[in-house]
């Protein structure tokens, strides 16, 4: 499948699994899972296409696994704006994490810190290259912010890590960000 087509389908899958499952007739379970067969029918895609998109997604946005009932299911690893409980437990973060964003957002972040907006968590990257890729998603100049995650954790802020290695926290006060 052509790269552009993979990206297009990945974006449709993200919208369905993270933001608007009802739009395609899906109902996520409380942890965000939906049976693969149900998902394929709702999305109008074949299983080989799903497998290619999941395997080829550079950010590993999706997880596919067999549930305790023996049914294969899929969910987004993080980034939901619909209510889900991912079942993540607090983890000790590395001393620093990174956040890639558009340069135009830096002044606002200086004033208010990083906020989750309509999502469940603020997303942080373990390395600058990943943060840069994330920051380029909207085009324009990119700013890479360094988050003093170890210091934040010692101050009582919980951190979680999703199945694809993205670090999550509720907010990042500006005092923990190196600009």
Residue 110 reports pLDDT greater than 90: yes
* Residue 90 falls inside a structural domain: no
Cα distance between residue 34 and residue 75, in whole Å: 7
* Residue 89 falls inside a structural domain: no
State which of 23, 45, 76 marks the end of a domain: 76
* Residue 30 falls inside a structural domain: yes
Q: What's the pLDDT at 36?
A: 97
* Residue 81 falls inside a structural domain: no
Q: What pLDDT digit, counting tens, does each position of 21-40 carry? A: 999 999 999 999 999 999 99
101 plus 174 within the same structural domain: yes
Residue 106 reports pLDDT greater than 80: yes
Closest CA to 149 of 178, 128, 120, 129: 178
What's the CATH number where 34 sits? 1.10.10.970
168 plus 103 within the same structural domain: yes
The percent of the chain in helix, strand and coil, each rounded to the nearest 5, is 40, 20, 40
Range of the domain at 24: 3-76
Contact in structure between 12 and 50 (CB atoms under 8 Å): no
Average per-residue pLDDT in the chain? 92
Q: What pTM, to 2 d.p., does this model score?
A: 0.74
* Residue 132 falls inside a structural domain: yes
């Amino acid at each position: 499948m052509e790269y552009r087509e993979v990206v297009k389908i990945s974006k449709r899958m993200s919208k369905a699994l993270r933001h608007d499952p009802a739009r395609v007739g899906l109902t996520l379970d409380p942890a965000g899972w939906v049976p693969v067969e149900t998902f394929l029918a709702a999305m109008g895609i074949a299983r080989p296409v799903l497998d290619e998109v999941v395997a080829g997604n550079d950010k590993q946005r999706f997880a596919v696994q067999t549930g305790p009932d023996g049914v294969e299911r899929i969910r987004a690893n993080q980034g939901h704006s619909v209510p889900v409980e991912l079942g993540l437990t607090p983890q000790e973060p590395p001393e620093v994490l990174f956040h890639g964003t558009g340069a135009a957002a830096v002044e606002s972040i200086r004033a208010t810190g990083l906020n989750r907006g309509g999502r469940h968590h603020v997303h942080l990257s373990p390395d600058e290259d990943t943060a840069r890729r994330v920051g380029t998603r909207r085009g324009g100049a990119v700013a890479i912010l360094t988050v003093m995650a170890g210091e934040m954790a010692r101050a009582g802020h919980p951190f979680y890590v999703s199945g694809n290695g993205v670090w999550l926290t509720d907010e990042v006060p500006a005092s923990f960000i190196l600009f």
